[in-house]
Amino acid sequence: MKRVLLKLSGEALAGDKKMGFDEPTVIKVAQQVKQLSDAGIEIGIVIGGGNFWRGRSSENIDRTKADQIGMLATVMNCIYVSEIFRSVGMMTQVLTPFECGSFTKLFSKDRANKYFSRGIVTFFAGGTGHPYFSTDTATVLRAIEIEADVILLAKSIDGVYDSDPKSNPNAKKYEEISIQEVIDKRLGVVDLAASILCMENKMPLLVFGLNEENSIVNTVNGVFNGTK
Ligand code: UDP
């Protein structure tokens, strides 16, 4: 793997608190990403916003506005995580699909490529910039655009199951599954729009547990315990 896109959910950043940031969790992620970056792997990052806000968080406000708040939540997450990454010795930049003044830079493929060539870990914040989408869709979209070799989907569970392992103790974990099957069985690894984009563009996905020790580094090094 030369270039990877790592997707972290917002909740994963919050640890047990479920809201906001859990700094020790983020520092652990940073240390792993640094190992990969030091080994010359180009790393793009997308982060969800669920630790602050989701478009469906309020039934009383307009969905487009609610989604704008969600997209801004992902910008806050990326600024925070990128600063933690800097604190462990990485160079970072945050790109958004809309202007955020001097807080971020506007996304373009050329700009992302320039950062990657300089060894800068590049955050794709703000989702797709459009309401009614998710950071899953943004992840697949950016992975395709930047021609990533693979999407690393770091989740709170350690792979794809045939049913929810939290409610069904007999849930079976897949070692390997096609996106078509994920769609047919509505397994919800990523949402439907993202699944279809992934399938149409043959973008490989590796799903694994963020909470497992060193799981990001292990996954890139082929020591894989999740679902392909
Ligand atoms: N969001 C959006 N467009 C995007 C990406 C995100 O409108 O392209 C909003 C949406 O409101 C979403 C929130 O940002 O609920 C947080 O994104 P995330 O993907 O974490 O949300 P989830 O899939 O958990 O709803």
Average pLDDT for 78-87? 98
Main-chain phi, psi angles of 146, to 5 degrees: -90, 5
Q: What is the pLDDT of residue 56?
A: 84
CB count in 10 Å sphere of residue 181: 12
46: left (phi over 0), alpha (psi -120 to 50) or beta: beta
Q: What is the pLDDT of residue 11?
A: 87
The string of pLDDT tens digits covering residues 168-196 is 999 999 999 999 999 999 888 899 999 99
Measured between alpha carbons, how far is 37 from 16 in angstroms, rounded to an integer?
28
Measured from the CB, is residue 49 less than 6 Å from ligand 1?
yes
CA angle 87, 88, 90 (to 5 degrees): 90
Cα-to-centroid distance, 73 and ligand 1 (Å): 9
The string of pLDDT tens digits covering residues 10-55 is 988 888 888 999 999 999 999 999 999 999 999 999 999 999 999 8
Average pLDDT for 112-121? 98
Q: Whose Cα sits closest to atom 6 in ligand 1?
A: 134
CATH number for the domain running over 3-220: 3.40.1160.10
User: What single letter denotes the amino acid at residue 224?
Assistant: F
Q: What is the pLDDT of residue 71?
A: 97
Cα-to-centroid distance, 155 and ligand 1 (Å): 16
Average pLDDT for 126-144? 97
What integer best gives the mean pLDDT of the chain? 94
Q: What is the pLDDT of residue 17?
A: 81
Measured from the CB, is residue 97 less than 6 Å from ligand 1?
no
Measured from the CB, is residue 67 less than 6 Å from ligand 1?
yes
